[in-house]
Every structure is written in structure tokens, then in C-alpha cells.
Amino acid sequence: MELTNENVLGKIISEFGEENIWDAMNPDGIMTITTNRESIHNLIKYLRDDKELQISFLTTMCGIHFPGQGDKEMCMMYQLHSLRHNYRIRIKVFMPASDPVMPTMTDLYATANWMEREAFDFYGFKFIGHPNLTRILNIEEMEYHPMLKQYPLEDQTREDKINTYFGR
Amino acid sequence: MATENKTAELTELEQFRKDHGLALHEERQLTTLNLGPTHPATHGIFQNILQMDGEVIVDAVPTIGYIHRAFEKIAERRPFYQITPLTDRMNYCSSPINNMGYHMAVEKLLGITVPKRAQYIRVIMMELARISDHLICNSILGVDSGAFTGFLYVMQEREHIYDIYEEVCGARLTTNMGRIGGMERDLSPKALHMIDEFLKRFPKVWAEFEKMLTRNRIFIDRTTDVGAISAERALSYGFTGPNLRAAGVDYDVRVMNPYSSYEDFEFEIPVGAKGDTYDRFLVRNEEVWQSLKIIEQAYKNLPEGSYHADAPHYYLPPKQEVYTSMEALIYHFKIVMGEADIPVGEVYHSVEGGNGELGFYIISDGGRTPYRLHFRRPCFIYYQAYTEMIKGGQLADAILTLSSLNVIAGELDA
């Protein structure tokens, strides 16, 4: 079976139901779907183990922060690849900033270990079941998660650089 | 029969010990050994705290982040064209691949099509970068197993590759080569001549280097079955590039998702069988030959035409026009001040970097800077398998495994 966005989406929705899969988009040729954190682990497991799909390579994952978006403030993005069919898919999970908790994928993919530590380090995501959720690139004593948008890169007391002219 | 006796004996002994409350084995005395952060054999700054039982590694705890420079955060404040110099500090052994991979990702976001000539020039530069990357990795592997000569010998050739970079873009190591929309200048006749010379000279050098190591008994004994990883584990660990291909999976971004006209070229993807250090060495060796083949084809069939896309909103106009024409001045000003109109969108583009799939994930909200830029850095992703690969092996083997994985600290930490 050749994988197309339509038939993959159809399969996923028939397996998980429309209430768990929504916002299917195609921004750059890679189908992007949104799901909730109750389904994400099963979804990734299903994509990996299904004989027809074989989407069994975790290319990358990363956190994204959309301040002021309420329940959709924090986002975790997973990108998977079927090497058998050369088909890529992107999955997003949104959650409020007060509760950035996700199930771990380390039991499905060994590579998720450091990727999740990176997401924890930079965005403060907590991965339930992760074997060693500690900071990976920043120092352990750090008290904040630096990629969150409330931490500006430059010193805010500077007056010679106005945001209107020099970046956000 | 003999073995049965032996087991029976052992169980008797075990029974005896159990009855008398004796420990089965002597308590092992483990030694803690710091491999790194500044160990000459790590070829970069990262630490491994090893637990050693004599010469055998029982456990390893890698610590990384020593040269973390927060590129993803910095990128959120820089206009798109200013991010290129950040990318070439990731895998600094093959900077042009990083630069052009990033440019292609932004071009995908902007919807720019680059003319054939620019694509071919990119292919030439990217394959030269791949050669210089693999050349370093394989010759360092020689150094770590005791053959220094080959390293210095091929290092000369890397200098020649860097001379070509210098002629093409003005820089040698952190190249900042090309621009969003193409190259910043055409290949000069001198650059073409240098590439031609390189194509003539390099095969001899590389053949000699191969001759020194490939069938060298000592080298084979040192590297076979060292740091082996199975294809399943490699895939689970997210391996890509030569390290994955050495394990027997023929995944290459250049073939699977061709970019920059790679579909025009004839080349083969070498694969290994066991995924050990020797296989990784052989795969990289062969890839250098294939890269040469690609450069040769691109050089011979270099199309006529422009070396950059016709995208005045994003591609800087020639300097002399900026002084004489109003439009050019406006475009120049807008681009330099980061005021170019960037569409809203979300894009992932990956290229085959020196170490594997180098991906760029951009989210743009239409602002002057990317809203989020995530680099998929192959080193970061496969280095976590290192613990598993060296466990149960010897310290000297761990060093060889490390250099054959080609872990580049800049790419590891970003």
C-alpha cells in the first residue's frame, strides 16, 4: 500500500476516533495532526507496529512555546518517518503551561531519551516514566527553562536597542 | 560430557556456598575513570564517566553540553539571513552542508526555486564538505589506533578543500557559504581550476590512504567487532548517515528525498553488515569515492545560467546597483535590516550531512525572525547509543568507537 496523507489519516481516525485526532494540515508536504496526551503514546506505538504503515523511525521531537494561548500554550512536536514507504508525519500535542506533562516515548524509541531530556531542559516538559529526566545541555543548577518565550535573549534594561528596529 | 560435569561441579560449589552463606563472587572493585572533558582522544569537549572493572567497561555516563551556545534561542532573535553563521558552527568539519541545508529550508518556506547552476554548485561544495568530513573521521580513526602518518598525509588534501572554500566564499572553516536563494557569487575560473586539480590529485592520495589501512592486519584486528550495533538498535536510537548504513540500512536522504538536483547524479550508497567500527570505516571510505563521482559529474555538466534565484525580496542585489538604482537600494535596506516579508508557515527540510540526516524545522509567524527553529542534529541523537556500544568492551575499544562515530562537539551541543 502506498501511503498518502488521506489513507494514513483515514487509518488513524478509524483507529483512534475523530475526538482524539483533529486539525489535520499539510503545511510543507508533511501531514501534521494534533492529538491529546492520552492518545499520543498509543498513537506512536500504533504507527510503529502497524504492518501497513511501519512509521517506525522517530526523526525528531521538540517543544514549542506559544505564550498567551491558554490551553494551547505549550506544544510538543513529534516527527516520524516510515523508511519503508518514505512517508513522514508530524504529530503535535498542546497543553497549558501550568501542566506540561507528557508520557514518555523511551519505551518505544531509545532515541527519545535525550530528546525528552532536551525538551525538559529547555521547556520544562515533564515526561512521566522517563528513566533519567535531568538537564542535558544546560547546567544542573539552572532554575528556569531558557527556551520559554518569557526569557528574552538580551538584557531588557538596555535602552540603545529598540525592539521595533532590532528584533522581537 | 565434560561440560556437564563442569556444571554439576559448579552447582555443587554454589550449593556449598549457599549453605554456608558465602558470597558467590568476590565483590568487584570498580574503578571510576573520567574520559574527558579534555581528553585528547575525545576530539571535542565531552565527558564520559566510566566504571571500569579492570580493563572492561561496566558502565558509562556521558555528560554533554560543554560547548552549548544556545543557537536555537539566538536564532529566535535574528533575521533569517543572520542565522547562517550559526549553522556552520554546528558540524564545523563540513560547514557548507549546514549552511546550504539551512538555506534550502528557508527557500522551502519562502517558495523560492533555485536555478540549476546554483544547485549544481551547491552539490559540488556539499560533496567537498562531505569528503573533508569523512577524511577527518577516518584518518583520526587511524591516529587513535596508532597510525599517525595517514592523518597528516590526508590533512594536506583537506587544506586544498579549504582553499577551494576560500576561493568560493572567502572563509575556510566557518564558511557562511551561499545565501538564501543561491550562491553569493559564481564559481570563478580559478575555483573551477582548483576543483579540477583536486579531482585529479585526490583519488591517488585517497587510494594510498585506503591501501594503508583497509587490508592492514593490525587495523582490521583492532576494529572488527568493536562497538558493533545491530540495525534494529541503530534505528531505535535514531542513527542516520554512515553510522546507520554501516549497520546495513540503506537510508540516505540524498536518495530518499533528493534535494538540490541529487536525482541527476549517478552514485551508489555503500552499506555495511555488522555496524562495527571497521564497517563504519569502510562505509565512509566508499562514500568519499562516491562523493568524488558526484563532484565529477556536477563539474562536467555544470549548467549555464544564473547562480542565484530571481528573488529580489530575499536575495541581496549586486552592490554596484545599490549605489545607482532606487529599487536595489530599497531591497538591500530591507534585507539587511531584516524587514523582508517572510510568509507564515511551518517547514521541515533535511539534508544528508556528514553524520546523517541534518534537519531544520522552522516555524514562522511572519515576523522578522523565525518563531522557532529546531535543528535535528544527527550527532546529538546517535551519541546516546555510545554507552550501549562500549559496555562490556575495553577502554581502548571505546576510544576507537568514539572516533568512528565521528562525534563533533559543536553539533552535539549546538
Percent of all residues in chain A with a pLDDT value above 70, rounded to a whole number: 91
Residues in A touching B382 (Cβ below 8 Å)? 111
Tens-place pLDDT, residues A71-81? 999 999 999 99
Which pLDDT belongs to residue B22? 65
Q: CA–CA separation, B315 vs B308, rounded Å? A: 8
Between CA B278 and CA B404 the distance in angstroms is 8
| Cell numbers representing residue B231 in the block | 540495525
Query: What phi and psi values does residue B61 have, to the nearest 5 degrees?
Result: -120, 105
- B39 close to A113: Cβ distance less than 8 angstroms: no
- Residue B407 CB-density burial (10 A; 0-12 exposed, 13-18 middle, 19+ buried): buried
Distance set, CA B154 to CA A143, B144, B207, B223, B279 (Å): 47, 15, 11, 20, 20
Judge: B235–A83 Cβ closer than 8 Å, yes or no. yes
Cα–chain-centroid distance for residue A55? Answer: 16
* Local confidence band at A159 (pLDDT 50, 70, 90 cut-offs): low
The sheet that has A74-82: what strands, in order across it?
Answer: A21-25, A31-35, A87-95, A74-82, A57-65
Supply the ipTM of this predicted assembly: 0.92
Residues 6+ apart with CB under 8 A from B3: none
What is the Cα–Cα distance from B20 to B57, expressed in whole angstroms? 32
Task: Return the beta strands (E) in B1-140 as ranges.
Answer: 31-35, 47-53, 56-63
- Cell numbers 556456598 correspond to B17
Task: Please tell me the distance from the alpha carbon of residue A66 to that of residue A75, in angstroms, as a whole number.
Answer: 8
Distance from C-alpha of B30 to C-alpha of B61, rounded to nearest angstrom: 14
Chain A contact set for B251 (CB, 8 A): 83
Nearest CA distance, B235 vs chain A (angstrom):
7
Of B357, B361, B413, the CB nearest to A137: B413
Q: Give the cell for residue B216.
A: 592492514
pTM of the prediction? 0.91
CB B54 within 8 Å of CB B369:
no
* Of B104, B294, B69, B377, residue with least CA distance to A114: B377
Chain B residues with beta carbon closer than 8 angstroms to that of A139: 65
For B104, what's the count of Cα atoms within 13 Å in the CB-facing half-sphere?
25
pLDDT in tens, A100-152: 999 999 999 999 999 999 999 999 999 999 999 999 999 989 999 999 998 88
B72 contacts in chain A (CB < 8 Å): 122, 147
A67: confidence class by pLDDT, cuts 50, 70, 90: very high
pLDDT of A167 reads: 54
Q: Does the beta-carbon distance from A146 to B380 stay under 8 Å? A: no
**How many whole angstroms separate alpha carbon B28 and alpha carbon A145?**
40
Report which of A112, A147, A148, A146 is spatially closest to residue A129, judged by C-alpha positions: A112
Select from B137, B132, B138 the least CA-distant residue to B177.
B132
CB pairs under 8 A between A and B: 98
Quick one: DSSP state of residue B308? B
Answer whether B260's CB lies under 8 Å from B104's CB: yes
Kindly determine whether residue A111 and residue B73, on different chains, have CB atoms separated by under 8 Å. no
- Alpha-helical runs (H) found in B170-229: 189-213, 217-223
Contact B338 A167 (CB under 8 A): yes
Domains and CATH numbers, chain B: 3-63 (no CATH), 73-310+342-413 (1.10.645.10)
Residues of B numbered 233-252 whose beta carbons fall under 8 angstroms of chain A's beta carbons: which are they? 233, 235-238, 249, 251
A159 touches chain B (CB under 8 A): no
State whether residue A155 sits within 8 Å of chain B by CB. Answer: no
DSSP string, A136-165: SSS-TT--S-TTSTTS-SS-TT-SSS-TTT
The pLDDT, as a whole number, for residue B360 is: 95
Cβ–Cβ of A28/B385 closer than 8 Å?
no
Spatial separation of the C-alpha atoms in residues B283 and B223, rounded to whole Å: 13
**Which one of B345, B367, B385 has the shortest CB-CB distance to A28?**
B345
In chain B (414 residues long), the average pLDDT of successive 10-residue segments reads 54 71 67 85 85 90 91 90 92 93 95 94 95 93 90 92 94 91 93 95 94 92 92 94 94 93 94 93 95 95 93 92 94 88 93 93 91 94 92 91 91 88
Contacts of B256 in chain A (CB under 8 A): 83, 86
Q: Which domains does chain A carry?
A: 5-150 (3.30.460.80)
Residue A24 forms contact with B (CB below 8 Å) = no
**Chain A nearest-CA residue for B251:** A83
